[in-house]
Amino acid sequence: MTEMLFRADAYQRDAAARVTGLTEEGGVVLDQSVFYPTGGGQPGDAGWLEWDGQRLPIATAVKGQGADIVLVPAEPMALPPMGAHVQQVLDWERRYRHMRVHTALHLLSVVIPFGVTGGQISSTHGRLDFDMPEAPEDRDEIEEALNVFVAEDARVSESWMTFAELAAAPHLIKTMAVKPPTSGGDVRLIRIGEEDAWIDLQPCGGTHVARTGEIGALRLGKIENKGRKNRRVYVHLDA
């Protein structure tokens, strides 16, 4: 089982770790990881491992067996041996942009209050698919509302609730295609805003910025029809 350091601190850029597994495909499993594994529309983190004067570039991270996180090398190279002590280092600029985009998509789900059927994050933009009959026509209003939330510099925090509590509050589940993230039987929630006056509150397992002001200016992108009741909306980082 890999301890998810990114859950405790999304801003942690590096950490010592010990190799606990090597996969048949050439992946590396550590006892604890700052690398977020691909999931929920967010790409796995990239970076590198260092040990004994050697350096192994990591292209991405994926979920392995059980609660393992597997780091996937960028090219065939010698792997650190089992039990080796390594230093793991994130491609921080890429991860931080993912955090900004991911938080922006939470705001988009507030501005367009329909069920979310899918989503995807990159380092420059993200998109959500909405279960809605007609594409929104008020592009300028949507973009303005997003940037108002950014300008508020609202706090982003996490909390936990039980499955029973979540079952009693089904309105919190916006994403129709992804199961809520769990740990020890509890569900992780991401809150934007204060506890008594929140902007958004929903289950999410990804990484986010600490305040909406870190997102920076947002630009609304394409709005596409992807089926009878599926509208895809893109949002871009301005810088």
| Residues 174, 118: Cα–Cα separation, whole Å | 10
My answer on whether 113 and 56 are in the same domain is no
Report pLDDT for 176.
47
pLDDT tens column, 139-192: 999 999 999 999 999 999 998 877 677 666 666 666 645 555 555 668 889 999
* Count of domains observed in the chain: 2
My answer on whether 225 and 131 are in the same domain is yes
Q: Which among 184, 182, 187 is positioned nearest to 161, based on CA atoms? A: 187
Q: How confident is the model at residue 226 (pLDDT cuts 50, 70, 90)?
A: confident
pLDDT tens column, 53-103: 999 999 999 999 999 999 999 999 999 999 999 999 999 999 999 999 999
Is a pLDDT exceeding 50 seen at residue 111?
yes
Query: 40-60 burial string, b = 16+ CB within 10 Å, else e?
Result: bbbbbbbbbbebeeeebebeb
**Could you tell me the residue range of the domain that residue 141 belongs to?**
95-237
pLDDT tens column, 112-129: 999 999 999 999 999 999
Q: For 97, what's the count of Cα atoms within 13 Å in the CB-facing half-sphere? A: 17
Q: Which of 90, 120, 144 is the last residue of a domain?
A: 90
My answer on whether 232 and 127 are in the same domain is yes
φ/ψ bin of 91: left (φ > 0), alpha (ψ from -120 to 50), beta (otherwise): beta
My answer on whether 19 and 118 are in the same domain is no
Q: Which among 222, 233, 217, 236 is positioned nearest to 148, based on CA atoms? A: 217
pTM of the model: 0.92
Q: Which of 45, 69, 90 is the last residue of a domain?
A: 90
| Residues 121, 235: Cα–Cα separation, whole Å | 10
My answer on whether 101 and 78 are in the same domain is no
**What is the number of other CB atoms lying within 10 angstroms of the CB of residue 114?**
18
Q: What CATH number does the domain containing 101 carry? A: 3.30.980.10
My answer on whether 99 and 72 are in the same domain is no
My answer on whether 49 and 126 are in the same domain is no
Q: Which of 55, 74, 90 is the last residue of a domain?
A: 90
Q: Is the dihedral of CA 166, 170, 174, 180 positive or negative?
A: positive
pLDDT tens column, 22-37: 999 999 999 999 999 9
My answer on whether 116 and 230 are in the same domain is yes
Long-range contacts of 173-179 (CB under 8 A, 24+ apart): 173/202, 173/203, 174/109, 174/115, 174/116, 174/202, 175/40, 175/116, 175/117, 175/119, 175/202, 175/203, 176/115, 176/116, 176/117, 176/131, 177/116, 177/117, 177/118, 178/40, 178/41
Report pLDDT for 229.
85
Taking the CA atoms of residue 57, residue 62, residue 67 and residue 68 in that order, the dihedral angle to the nearest 10 degrees is -30
User: Interior CA angle at 123 toward 118 and 126, to 5°?
Assistant: 25
Report pLDDT for 196.
85
